[in-house]
Structure formats: structure tokens, C-alpha cells
Structure 1
Amino acid sequence: MHESETRYHTLFDTMDEGFCVIRFLDGADGPLSDYVHVEANPAYERHAGIPNVVGQKVREMVPDEAASWVATYREVLLTGVPIRFQQELVATGRHLELSAFRIEPPSRREVAVLFQDVTERAIAENQLRVLNATLERRVDEAVAQRESATVQLREAQKLETLGQLTGGLAHDMNNLLAPIISALDLLQRRHGKEDRSGRALDRALQSAERAKTLVSRMLGFARKQALVTTAVDVHDLLHGMADLIASSVGSTVGVSIEVSDGLPAILVDANQLELAILNLCINAKDAMTGGGQLKIVATKFAGSATRLPSNDQGFVSIAIIDTGIGMDAETLAKAIEPFFSTKEVGKGTGLGLSMVHGFAAQTGGAFNLTSSAGQGTTAELILPATSKQIENAGNEMESHLNAQSSLFLLVDDEPLVRMGTADMLEELGHEVLEANSGAEALTLLASRTGIKAVITDYTMPGMTGAELIQRIRESGSQVPILLVTGYAARDIDLDVPQLTKPFRLAELEQALEAL
């Protein structure tokens, strides 16, 4: 007997599950309406979360839920049928898996309970039930989100590819324009005072400069142009775009431009602003399927500036107003969301208005869109005014010949570009060593003395301009270097002066003087 008791107590104290013996009492609620814990092992507290239960009555220990526990165990006591069940001990938030059986003889009025904490499993099972109950809805939502993400990814990839193609085309166009502009510039210097020749050369240079501007816009679209805010004349910019806008919207849309007198300059990136306005005009054209009127109105902004950044100079409003089909309230609310479009698949990316909105915000302004179904749409750009002086680049650029002749090493893999730049350098009174690759340039630099500076293209096969510059510096040479590129000069992170192709003679001279 002693040995059995020893084994019982060892098992009682060391078992992992919670264990207790309860004895039923007659209470205020009637016979067998309460019970007291007469035994409990150390694991009881770990699983149930209640310490020191021996001697505690259930109606005092957990009064709010005691009735449920009493009813379950009283049934075991009265019938003698063991049970297994799960129930939450609300007082401690524990989910318990329990088994109970009557201790014989019944006259002892005792029930033994074995249990363990299964809270984590219960929570997981409940979550699984919830997941299963909503599975179909979630699958539909996931499929819709996946399809939407796929469409967005496809559109983003199309834009990225288009940007790469546009950037590459613009770079090649700059290489083609470089020898044309350099030749026209030199011819104008020599024959510009002749009546017929001078007029012809002026027209040719103006056309070349317009082509240069067009390529600059292409680079801006491809995001390969450095974006710099400057003081911009709104009147000149809008009227300068008139032909481009008219050709973009077609002959069925009448275009008018109204600019208030005395309008201050605005502080923006001109190329981005042109792209934003052109985008809005094309959107307006698409909303006027049978033709209509497109009005561009620029005025001093007179609305509330409470939602605008602080700007002492105020703001200028550029409104693009159409007579198209307009938008209902639901469509208008989503109009500037990325990838939202009312156009047919393949006819719009849904990024136009969101890009315009982002441009206006980054510039320190705002973008407002007002519309109603059947009443047309007004897209308003609100942009910061500035007192800064407007920079007039113009086509008339003067150059002064440098009296001191120097020797320059010119590196470019494009023969026409190299020859045009060499002619410009010789026109400025300099001597030129020509190299068609980085390797040839290194050889000439090592073998010739007296080279004042190196002028190198950026994009070349075999060895790029950046790699050539690195090799020159690694050799210990501190010869000045001018980097020439068909992309935007500010986009290349190299600590050397940079010049963007195509350039005029005066621009080249200014860059050389800066060396």
C-alpha cells in the first residue's frame, strides 16, 4: 500500500497535464450546486492559470461561469459516465481540453478531472474556421487583385520599354543633330552677313534648334533629362506650344489660348510643364469624340491658398477647359488614382493624371480637377509664381575667339560628330588630336605632350567615357577633362565638367573656358 501511494504521489506531482479532484457540496442553489477542490497537482496552475485552488469553491473562484462547470461535472457524478470535452475557462482566457470521471463509490461525491491548456490550438482552429468560411470571397478578391497587379505591371513595363526606346532614340537624334548644328553654326559665322545665305542659314539653325528642343522633350519623357526649375514666361511657353497642341488634338477641336496681362513668371521645370499641359490637352481631345472647343486660360490664382505651400509671390493658374462628355462624381473621385482609366484596354495607361498631379505637388503647387457628366472638364494647374529673372536662351549666341591656341584631345566613336566638334575647335583657333576610342586616346595621351585638355564622349563601345576618365586619373594625370553626352549632363554622376549634345560654338567655348 505504501509503495502504491508513493507511485501515485510521484505521478501526481510530475505529470504534465493538470489534475484535480473535486467534491460536490449542497449550496445556496440547492443539492449538489457547488463543489470544492480537494486535490490539485502543480500542473493545475500552469494549465488553468489559477494558483492555490485546493480548498476553493468553484462559485467563489469563478462566479460568472460556475453554473456551467457545476452542471457538466454533476452529470458525471450522477450517471457515472466519463466525458471528454473542450471549454473555455473565461476567467483566465484559457481553452481547456478536459476529461472527467466519477471516483467510486458515488457516496464520496467526488469527480476526478484531467486537463491541458490547448489555447493556441483552439485559436488556430478558430482562425481556420473563419478562413474556410470566407475562403471563396478571399479567393475572388485575391484573383481580382492579382489580375489588377498584372495589368499594372504590364502597363509599367510598357512605359519602361517605351521610355528606354525613347531615350535611345533621343540619344541617337542628338548625335545626328550635333554635326548638323556645328556645321550650320560655322557656316553662319562665315556667311551669315550675306542676304540670301544668311536668311537660309538662320532658318536652318532655327529648325535645328526646334529639333533639339523636341529631343529634349523626348529625354524628359524617358526620365533621362535632369529636371531643373527655372523662371518661365507663361505667355511664351503656351504660345510656343500652340502648333504642337493643335496638331495633337486634331482639326475637329478648336484651340484658343488666353493669358492675362502682367502675369508673373512661374518657377517650374519647363519641359515637365509642357508634357503635363500636352497630356491634359490630349485627355481633353479624347473626351470630345465628336469635336469641340479646347480653351487654355492662364491667370493669377485668386482662389483659396490654405491647402497650398507658402509662397510670397502667390500662384498662377493654368486651366485646360474642354466641352467633352465630362465625368460623374464616382469617376471624378478616382480620376487621379494611378492606373485608373475609363479608356478601352490598350488605349490608356491610367497614369497621365496621376503624373500631372505628382508634378504639380513636387513643384510646390496643386492640381484641381472639376467636372460633371455632360458638362465638360476643367483641369487646373496651380503653380508657384516667382520674381526671378526669366532666362532668355535665344538662338543668337555670340562667340569670341580665344587668342591663345591650345592642343585638345578629342575622343568620339562617331566620325561625323567628332569631325564637327574638331571643326569648331579649329574655328576657335585650337589644334586637335582625334581618337575614335578610349584605348586610342590613352595611347595618344601617353605619347604626346602639351595636351591642354581631353574632350570625350560618354557613350562609346569598348571603353565608355566614364571608364576613360577613371583610367586617366589612375595614371596620375590631372589633365582637365570635358565630358560630352547625348543624354542630360546632370544625370551623369561624374566629378568633371559636362556638355550636352548638340551644342553651338559659343556653348563649347564657354565650357572650355570653364576648364
Structure 2
Amino acid sequence: MKRTTLSERALVLAPHGRDALIAAAMLRESGIEAAVCAGLASLLAELDAGAAFVVMTEEAISAADLHPLANWLGDQEEWSDLPFILLTSRGGGLERNPAAVRYLDVLGNVTFLERPFHPTTLVSLARSALRGRRRQYEARSRLEDLRESELRYRTLFDTMDEGFCVIRFIDGPEGPLSDYVLVQANPAYERHTGERQQLGRTLRQRFPGEADFWIERHRSVLLTGKPERFEAEIGHNGRLLEMASFRIEPAERNEVALIFQDVTARKQAERELRDLNETLEKRVEEAVHERAVATAQLHEAQKLEMIGQLTGGVAHDINNLLTPITGALDVINRRYASSDPRAARLLDGALQSAERAKILVNRLLGFARRQTLETRAVDIGALLDGMGDLVTSSVGANVEVRTAVDGGRLTALADPNQLELAILNLCVNARDAMPGGGRLTISASALKCGQSTDDGLQPGEYIRLTVSDSGVGMDGPTLARAVEPFFSTKGIGKGTGLGLSMVHGLAAQLGGKFELSSTVGQGTRAALYLPVAEQAAHPLKARRSPQLTELRPLDVLLVDDEDLVRKGTAEMLRELGHQVHEAGGGAQALAMLAEGLKIDALITDYVMPRMSGAELAERVQVDRPDLPILVVTGYAGGDLQLSLPQLAKPFRQSDLVAALARLLRKADARSLAKAAV
């Protein structure tokens, strides 16, 4: 739409003779600003600059293409109707001037002035056109004020936190003004009432049981014009509304506006505050007791946090120690295992031990980080077989360990690492309950639950994994608190009281449950219910030496502040034909690159003094943004919050080569993408 510029000047279009100059002079003498246009194109340009009215001669447009002018006029704003004074030789009547119909269709608001005319007539028509144009400007101002008012109202209507609606009373079967409909409601209406907006439906259709109460209440506001404020409960959802109602004028509209908000929570808080004041002394005692309990738990939590930090640090150091051991064993195994069977068996055993040590360290890291669960289908029988040696060594020689798994494959949906930790916790608890030795039984079986149980177990198929002992057992009060966090029957410093609570939390997180039963002198039975997995578990694969990925010879810059780790990693790479340049820290690495060292990839440790691996990578990428960079870490199991590829310590030669291969594939893909662009 054409945004018309406000102006009180006249435009004159009379291209023949001195008509334009004479008409402009007449207008100027009467105090009206006038501008002469050379042609129709010039007129359109001047109209864009603003005009109050136009004086033109009939011959100026009789043979012209009037489509541009018609388009300009059609694109005016709704308040604008530009006046025209058309000077003709035959008047404006159809009987004398048949072309008048065309001019009326195109110009619209046009006054015909037949020549010759007296100057006073032209000035009179010009002033009349100017007055009409001024009224249009005033209408524009009123329209803009109205739009701004409507915009302010709509903004308030849409954004106000309180619910707002307008109802209109109508006549119904019960008599005049015996029902009403919802005609307008803001977005907060549904949030405060809990009811979906149903514009146009009568109240008796929506809530027939409550209609009489609300109709009578709001009708009194409509008839008296007196606003009302009150509280009332609505519908069947127990919501309490604080409401204000007032009549919308004029009264003949039969409309009432309602403003309301849900005060259910506030009223509940007020009731609770009254109850609190009435039982203040008792609640103070309870609060003091709860604070003492919370303080004790906080101390325990702080102790565990310190243990977690210590565990993470120790695990990092162990990973640094394991890395050169694993790498050296891997290199020796590849060189000599094929020619010496006995050496092959010894090396394979050493590698398996290193692998188990790696798993143990990862569990320590998981405890320090509180890892999220990584659930998958787990073969319970295979998992228990794999844990046999670990359980036996953990409970000691004076405890007899028995395992009983029902026939058929039992596949549960679980995190295998966390499940192993839970089973190990239960076994250690059972060992502590049998100080003089005894029998520990681990069993697994399938069962179906037909209906929901009181403890939250949903209907479905489950694997029940049970750990039973023949120990001292627990009495009723002890059993009732056994799974509470920080509760322990062991001596100070001999337990955190978190073992059973961790198992209980794991079961709940997996969608199962944890069940504990015990009798004094007869032992304890712990049952873990796990949901059955729909897909089959992957069978355990026999351990074999992994195949190395083929790589072209590379120039690699290896950065690590630990000499043993760096030299072991460098030897793994050199044994495969790569050229390795070693640096003991970030500053040395940057200096080597600044001296012109050409490399194909950078491998850096993450935790180093003075400059971390992430900081080194960031500085290297300033000059070489496409350089492949691999970050090696002994923390967090290779799950640092970095955008760079990572490799967790300890790693074998095959792990290192595979990580390099992935690194180079990504770099090649980026290069191809850039070349394509």
C-alpha cells in the first residue's frame, strides 16, 4: 500500500500554452503552494513527494496512458482519496462530454471546471479541495491513533499474566438474558481455568450443573453496572479463582469482562502457613532434627566427593602407567607371538590382565563422574560367568560361591558395567555378613508380572537376579532402613552406607525394582528385577589380536609431559613405519612448529602443566585450521567436552592406529568438500 506523504501543496498539469503558469499563479495569489508538472511521469513523481490536490487540463490526459496514474490512485491508503480539478472545454456532463465517464473511473474524486472560468471559481474549488484533503489527513491521524490503541490493547491482552475474557448475555429458554457465550479470551485463560477455550458455546452447554450460579452472579453486574470482586471454585478440578467482573459500555452490548487468576497454590500456602503456626514448636523440633540429619549427610557427601576426586586422580595416574605397558606388550606380541607359542600365551595373558585393569580403572572413573546409564541387551548368564573370578577373589577363600542360572538364555535390558558393580556390591555385603565364612548363592531366573505391585513394578516380563547368603541376617528395624542412603551397620570407616541404595536406584532407573528380605541368624536375600530385553544380546567374542588399519607413512608430532607414556606411544607409531617428533609440552611443540616442522597430524595429551592439550590445539589451529589433531586423555574415559577427536588411555597399538585412521578420513572429507566448493 502506498504510504502517502502529508502535504498541502497543489500540483498543476497543463502542458499546452501558458495554462499551467496562469493556474499556478492564481493558486499562489490565494495563499496555496503550487508546483507545475511537465507531464504525467513528472506528476507521478511529485505525487510520491506529497500533494493536497491536482489541477489538470483535459487535453493533458485525453490521449495519455492513464494506467500508471490509476495504479498510483488504487494503491492509496484507505483514508486517502486525492482530489482532482479537471479543466475541460465541454463541462462534466455526459451529454456534452462523453469522455467524463473515463475520467471519473480513473480519477475518482474529480471536480469538472468548464473553461473559460473566472479565477474566483478556480480558487474556490481549490480551497474546497484543500479542506477536503485536510479532513482526510485528520482521518488518517484518527486511524493511526485507533491502530495504536488497538495494538496496545492487543499487546496487553496477549501478554498479561491474568486470565481475561468477555462474555455476552443472550436470551435462552429460561428467559431473557438467561445464558451467555464466551466471545473473547486471552492466552492465559486456559492456564488459569484449566478449561479449553470454547468461543461461541453457551455456558449451559458447557457446564450445565454450574450455569445458574455463574449466570446469576455475572448478570447482576450487567444489570446494575456495579463491578464485583470475589473468589470462587470452578469446575471439577478444584481450582480456586480470584475474579473481578465489570460491565462493558454501552450496556446495550450485554457484555461483561472478567479478569481472574488461579490462587489455588497461594491459598494452599496460606493454609499450610496457618498449620505451621499452629504446630510451630513441633515443627521447629523436626526442623532441628532434619538439619542435624542433613548436616551429617552433607559431611558424608563431602567425604564421597573427596573420594571421587581422589579416585579420578589415581585413575588418571594408573592410566598413564598402563599406557606404555599395554603399548609395549602389544608391540612385542606382534613381533614375536607368531614364532614363539609360549611367549604368545604369556603375552596374551598379560594383555588380558592389562585389559581387565583398564576396565577396573574405567569403573573408578565412572564412580568419580557418576556416569549416565548406557543400556543394552545383556546376557545375564554370560555376565555372571565373566564375573566368576572377580566375585571369588572379592569374597575370599572362606566363602563358598554358587551360581544357578535357569535353562534358556536370560537377556535383560541393563547397563552391563553398572550391573556388574551392583552385583559386586551385593556380594561384598554378603561377605561382610558372614565373618566366619559361609555360602553365597547367585541365581537368575525369568518371571512374568501380571499386574502392578504396590512397590511400583509394572506388568511385564522380568529377569530376577538374586544374591543370597547364610550370614547373620537383619532384624526388622535394620531391614526397614537398609536401603536408606548413608545407613550402615558396619563400623566407622568400614562402609559408606551407599551400596544398597545405589543398587536400589539402579533398579528403579532401569524400570525394575530391588527387593530385600532377611531373618536374624538365617541370612539375607537380595533380589534385583530387571526388564527383559526385546532384542538378543551380542554373544561374547573370543579374544584375538586386533587387525591394524593400513595407513600411509605419516609425520606425527607427539606431545606428552610423561616421558614413559610419550616414548611408549612413539615406539608404537615408529614400529608401524611412521616418523615421530616428540615434545615434552605445549611450549616445545609450538616452538618446533614455528621453526618450520612439517607434520601430517598432531597427537597431544590433555592434562599437561602450563598448557593443556586443548589450549595447544586451539593455538595450532590458528595457523593450521585443517591439521588433524587427536587428544589423548587418562581422565573421564575419553569423554571430554571437546570438539576434537579423543582417545582414552590406556590404549593398544590397534586403538591408536584406528583413531589416526578416523582422524585422517575426516580431514580428507573436509578437503574434498572445500575443493568441491
- Pair 353,459 (structure 1): closer, same or farther in 2 beyond 3 Å: same
Q: Which residue among 560, 563, 583 is the counterpart of 1:435? A: 583
Q: Which residue among 276, 279, 302 is the counterpart of 2:425? A: 279
User: What secondary structure is seen at the aligned counterpart in 1 of 2:328?
Assistant: helix
Note the alpha carbon deviations across 1:29-68, whole angstroms, 9 max, x for none: xxxxxxxxxxxxxxxxxxxxxxxxxxxxxxxxxxxxxxxx
- Pair 358,478 (structure 1): closer, same or farther in 2 beyond 3 Å: same
Cα offset for 1:219?
1.9
Q: Does the aligned pair in 2 maintain the 1:225–1:488 contact within 8 Å? A: no
User: What secondary structure is seen at the aligned counterpart in 1 of 2:472?
Assistant: coil
Cα offset for 1:328?
3.8
- Pair 189,490 (structure 1): closer, same or farther in 2 beyond 3 Å: closer
User: What secondary structure is seen at the aligned counterpart in 1 of 2:468?
Assistant: strand
**Matching residue of 1:242:** 388
1:377 aligns with 2:524: yes
**Matching residue of 1:339:** 486
Give distance in 2, aligned partners of 1:397 and 1:305. 49
- Partner amino acid for 1:157? Q
**Matching residue of 2:415:** 269
Cα offset for 1:176?
0.4
Cα offset for 1:422?
1.0
Give distance in 2, aligned partners of 1:358 and 1:295. 23
Give distance in 2, aligned partners of 1:476 and 1:439. 16
User: What secondary structure is seen at the aligned counterpart in 1 of 2:369?
Assistant: coil
Give distance in 2, aligned partners of 1:198 and 1:332. 52
Q: Does the aligned pair in 2 maintain the 1:403–1:429 contact within 8 Å? A: no
**Matching residue of 2:650:** 502
Q: Which residue among 618, 627, 638 is the counterpart of 1:470? A: 618
**Matching residue of 1:62:** none
1:167 aligns with 2:330: no
- Pair 385,411 (structure 1): closer, same or farther in 2 beyond 3 Å: farther
Q: Does the aligned pair in 2 maintain the 1:225–1:487 contact within 8 Å? A: no
User: What secondary structure is seen at the aligned counterpart in 2 of 1:166?
Assistant: helix
User: What secondary structure is seen at the aligned counterpart in 2 of 1:367?
Assistant: strand
Give distance in 1, aligned partners of 2:590 and 2:323. 24
Cα offset for 1:140?
4.7
Give distance in 2, aligned partners of 1:210 and 1:167. 18
Give distance in 2, aligned partners of 1:494 and 1:367. 37
Q: Does the aligned pair in 2 maintain the 1:482–1:497 contact within 8 Å? A: yes
- Pair 428,383 (structure 1): closer, same or farther in 2 beyond 3 Å: farther
Give distance in 2, aligned partners of 1:226 and 1:427. 38
Cα offset for 1:179?
0.4
Q: Which residue among 563, 570, 573 is the counterpart of 1:422? A: 570
**Matching residue of 1:13:** none
Give distance in 2, aligned partners of 1:305 and 1:441. 65
Give distance in 1, aligned partners of 2:434 and 2:385. 22
- Percent same amino acid among aligned pairs? 54
- Partner amino acid for 1:174? N
1:147 aligns with 2:147: no
**Matching residue of 1:71:** none
Note the alpha carbon deviations across 1:73-129, whole angstroms, 9 max, x for none: xxxxxxxxxxxxxxxxxxxxxxxxxxxxxxxxxxxxxxxxxxxxxxxxxx9xx99x9
Give distance in 2, aligned partners of 1:230 and 1:448. 49
**Matching residue of 1:87:** none
- Pair 349,489 (structure 1): closer, same or farther in 2 beyond 3 Å: closer
- Pair 305,461 (structure 1): closer, same or farther in 2 beyond 3 Å: farther
Calculate the aligned-residue CA RMSD, in Å.
2.9
Give distance in 2, aligned partners of 1:327 and 1:221. 28
Q: Which residue among 548, 558, 579 is the counterpart of 1:410? A: 558
Give distance in 1, aligned partners of 2:656 and 2:459. 40
- Pair 315,149 (structure 1): closer, same or farther in 2 beyond 3 Å: same
1:453 aligns with 2:601: yes
**Matching residue of 1:208:** 354
1:191 aligns with 2:336: yes
**Matching residue of 1:513:** 661
Cα offset for 1:321?
1.1
- Pair 181,303 (structure 1): closer, same or farther in 2 beyond 3 Å: same
- Pair 435,278 (structure 1): closer, same or farther in 2 beyond 3 Å: same
Note the alpha carbon deviations across 1:355-387, whole angstroms, 9 max, x for none: 111112223332222234444222111223332
Q: Does the aligned pair in 1 maintain the 2:440–2:468 contact within 8 Å? A: yes
1:365 aligns with 2:512: yes
Give distance in 1, aligned partners of 2:323 and 2:654. 14
- Pair 440,230 (structure 1): closer, same or farther in 2 beyond 3 Å: farther
Cα offset for 1:473?
3.0
Cα offset for 1:326?
2.9
**Matching residue of 2:239:** none
**Matching residue of 1:291:** 437
**Matching residue of 1:396:** 544
Number of equivalenced pairs: 387
User: What secondary structure is seen at the aligned counterpart in 2 of 1:317?
Assistant: strand
Comparing 490-499 with 410-419, greater Cα deviation is found at 490-499
Give distance in 2, aligned partners of 1:366 and 1:168. 34
User: What secondary structure is seen at the aligned counterpart in 2 of 1:241?
Assistant: helix
- Pair 481,505 (structure 1): closer, same or farther in 2 beyond 3 Å: same
Comparing 212-221 with 352-361, greater Cα deviation is found at 212-221
**Matching residue of 2:669:** none
- Partner amino acid for 2:592? L
Higher gyration radius (CA): 2
Note the alpha carbon deviations across 1:315-359, whole angstroms, 9 max, x for none: 322111122333344433332222223334443322221111111
For normalisation by structure 1, the TM-score amounts to 0.68
Cα offset for 1:253?
2.4
- Pair 210,480 (structure 1): closer, same or farther in 2 beyond 3 Å: same
**Matching residue of 1:317:** 464
Q: Does the aligned pair in 2 maintain the 1:326–1:373 contact within 8 Å? A: yes
- Partner amino acid for 1:465? G
- Partner amino acid for 2:296? V
Q: Which residue among 493, 501, 508 is the counterpart of 1:354? A: 501
- Partner amino acid for 1:286? D
Q: Does the aligned pair in 1 maintain the 2:639–2:646 contact within 8 Å? A: no
Q: Which structure exhibits the higher relative contact order, with contacts defined as CA atoms closer than 8 Å and separated by 6 or more residues?
A: 1
**Matching residue of 1:444:** 592
- Pair 188,445 (structure 1): closer, same or farther in 2 beyond 3 Å: same
Q: Does the aligned pair in 2 maintain the 1:209–1:395 contact within 8 Å? A: no
Cα offset for 1:256?
0.8
**Matching residue of 2:630:** 482
Cα offset for 1:392?
4.2
Comparing 195-204 with 177-186, greater Cα deviation is found at 195-204
Give distance in 1, aligned partners of 2:418 and 2:318. 20
- Pair 199,130 (structure 1): closer, same or farther in 2 beyond 3 Å: closer
- Pair 264,445 (structure 1): closer, same or farther in 2 beyond 3 Å: farther
Cα offset for 1:395?
3.8
Cα offset for 1:309?
6.0
- Partner amino acid for 1:179? P
Cα offset for 1:226?
6.7
- Pair 385,397 (structure 1): closer, same or farther in 2 beyond 3 Å: farther
Structure 1 residues 15-26: aligned runs within 5 Å: none
Q: Does the aligned pair in 2 maintain the 1:295–1:321 contact within 8 Å? A: yes
User: What secondary structure is seen at the aligned counterpart in 2 of 1:222?
Assistant: helix
Q: Does the aligned pair in 2 maintain the 1:230–1:269 contact within 8 Å? A: yes
- Pair 475,394 (structure 1): closer, same or farther in 2 beyond 3 Å: farther
User: What secondary structure is seen at the aligned counterpart in 1 of 2:421?
Assistant: helix
Q: Does the aligned pair in 1 maintain the 2:363–2:417 contact within 8 Å? A: yes
- Pair 173,225 (structure 1): closer, same or farther in 2 beyond 3 Å: farther
Q: Does the aligned pair in 1 maintain the 2:464–2:530 contact within 8 Å? A: yes
